[in-house]
Structure 1
Amino acid sequence: MRPISPDAASLQQDVHGLYSDHHAWLLNWLRRRLRHADNAADLAQDTFLYVLGRPEQIRELHQPRAWLSTIAHGLLVDKVRRQRLEQAYLTAIAQLPEPEVPAPETRLILLETLAQIDALLDGLKPKVRTAFLLSRLEGLGYQEIAERLEISVSSVEKYMATAIRHCYLAQRK
């Protein structure tokens, strides 16, 4: 077993201190916003798991509660988005004829892929997102997209450039 370096030990203390000083507060903050205490406890733990992945930021904190609540809120938004996506996916699958229903393993892969696409396109304006999806998923040309969205072809070109740039930058993060 390797000894812990002084810097790693200090970081470990910082994480422990953040947890012990603010976990109860975060849990209560989440309980006030959520209906179920179990969901609040899970989200509090997820928040600190997220923090563990960014220990270097702990040392620079001036407002730890603001940081923790921002992380927790973001995780909650992601969870709600994922639940909505999953429900829409399950609704779509329920409408398929039995022979076309994907196997459970395939469903899981498809759902994960949809979640990744959704996260990648997060932040795009609805028309930009729609134009991009019509192009990439349905294979429509710019003229067809323009007609469907009732916009000009030059707007479609701008939307596509915006979406492609957004995806590129999102992947680099």
Structure 2
Amino acid sequence: MSARKLTSIAFIAAVYAVLTYVFAPLSYHYIQFRISEMLTVLPFLTPTAIPGLFLGAVIANLGSPLGIYDVMFGGLATLIAAWLTSKMPNRWLAPLPPVIINAVIIGIELGTIAGIPGLTIPLAMLWVGLGELAVCYLLGIPFLLLLERYRGRIPGFNAKK
């Protein structure tokens, strides 16, 4: 793997983790509005973002109140969602895998492990899904459009469609 790819992976991981920590009050509860999730559109443009997002999520989840469970399940959810995002046929569908995968996996995690009174698995899935939907579409799509606009000026980012 080239130094450029390793640097890109590390940069994406660092930005994801820092955004998660900076906005921590919004990032770690059952009603999540994790600003860093806007980066989940990046695999649509470059496969290098897949390991970067995975590592970023693992690092960010080290600060989670759910501890190792969030590191494992959050990392897995991000990895699956990033890979599926890279397979999306157009930019409008690119944010959909993170919304669905996180709603299901993180919703199940929160509904079973978090121990929040009254929080059922379906309710946790709904809250996670709504927060993810808001971030991925309201922030992720404009971010993706901005990157596509400057695609020739950003090394490693090539817009598909």
Q: Same fold (TM over 0.5)?
A: no
Query: Of the two structures, which has the highest relative contact order with CA contacts closer than 8 Å and spacing of 6 or more?
Result: 2
TM-score by length of 2: 0.30
